[in-house]
Amino acid sequence: MTIDAANLKRMFEAIAVAIEADKDRLCQLDGVIGDADHGIAMELGFNAVRDALAPLDLAATEPTALLNTAAKSFLNAVGASSGPLYATAFMRAASAVKGKATLVEADFIALFQAMAQGIKDRGKAEPGEKTMVDAWQPAAEAAAAANLAGKTLAESLKAALAAAESGAEATKDMIAAKGRSSRLGERSLGHMDPGAASAVTVIGAMTKSLTSAL
């Protein structure tokens, strides 16, 4: 099983659809501990990615170029915090698969890990600070562990999704240490971090899209 530019394009389309469906919930989660626009930012970003990828000649586009296009279009459409975080994720993903025309399963796991690391580096956040890192890091670790244990990409991504879900759930018990909600102190307790929630949506759409293609 290999993944090419067409698979990646369909993956981004699937994320855009999933985020659009989830937009209102994400804005509401953000409204409790922030400024209520996280769903809007994510929708703008992934719609911009979808529009930027649409005219690409996929036969002549390597995954790296596609991912860099995604990074640039997401960043320029959004700004905010999700802009630099996801743009960095896609840029790191691009460099993780540089020079490859198609990706084997281990390449995609490396790409996925690079995304999580990019988000962590750009936001300078550690697990436990109630951010999207609390979903992305365990997801990347679970995917890598499953891959190492000889699981298929589909199984590895399912493990990643499950880890992201429990990571996001765990943010309810955390006090925010980064971002706008960090000024709330203990008042952020009991609420899921919207960035972790949207990470689950993104990872879920990636999993579904790539799994159904496999």
Partner 1 sequence: MPVQTKKIINDGNRAVDEMLEGILAAHPRHLRSADGSPRSIIARDGPRPGKVGLVIGGGSGHEPTFLGFVGRGLADAAAIGNVFASPPPDPILECAKAVSGGAGVLFMYGNYAGDVMNFDMAAEMADMDDIEVRTVLTTDDVASAPRDQRQKRRGVAGNFFIFKAAGAACDRMLSLDEVERIARKANDHTFTMGVALSPCSLPQTRRPNFEIGADEMEIGMGIHGEPGIARGKLRTADEITDEMLDKIFAEMAPSRGDKVAVLVNSLGSTPLMELYIMNRRVKQRLDDIGVSIHATWVGNYCTSLEMAGASVTLFHLDAELQTMLDHPCDCAMFRAG
10 Å CB burial of residue 69 (0-12, 13-18, 19+) is buried
Q: Is 75 in the site for partner 1 (CB under 8 A)?
A: yes
Residue range at the interface with partner 1 (CB under 8 A); choices 30-38, 49-57, 95-103, 167-175: 30-38
* Token reading at 156: 């590895």
Which C-beta is closer to partner 1: that of 182 or that of 211?
Answer: 182
Which residue, 91 or 93, is less far from partner 1 as judged by CB?
91
Query: Which residue's CB is nearer to partner 1, number 27 or number 170?
Result: 27
CB of 37 to partner 1, least distance (A): 6
How far is Cα 75 from Cα 87, in angstroms, rounded to an integer? 6
Residues 80-119 that bind partner 1 (CB under 8 A): 80-85
The CA–CA distances, whole Å, from 57 to 10, 52, 66, 160, 169 equal 14, 12, 10, 31, 40
- What is the rounded CA–CA span in Å between residue 41 and residue 128? 24
Residues in the site for partner 1, rule: CB under 8 A? Answer: 27, 31, 33-37, 40-41, 44, 75-85, 122-123, 178-184, 187
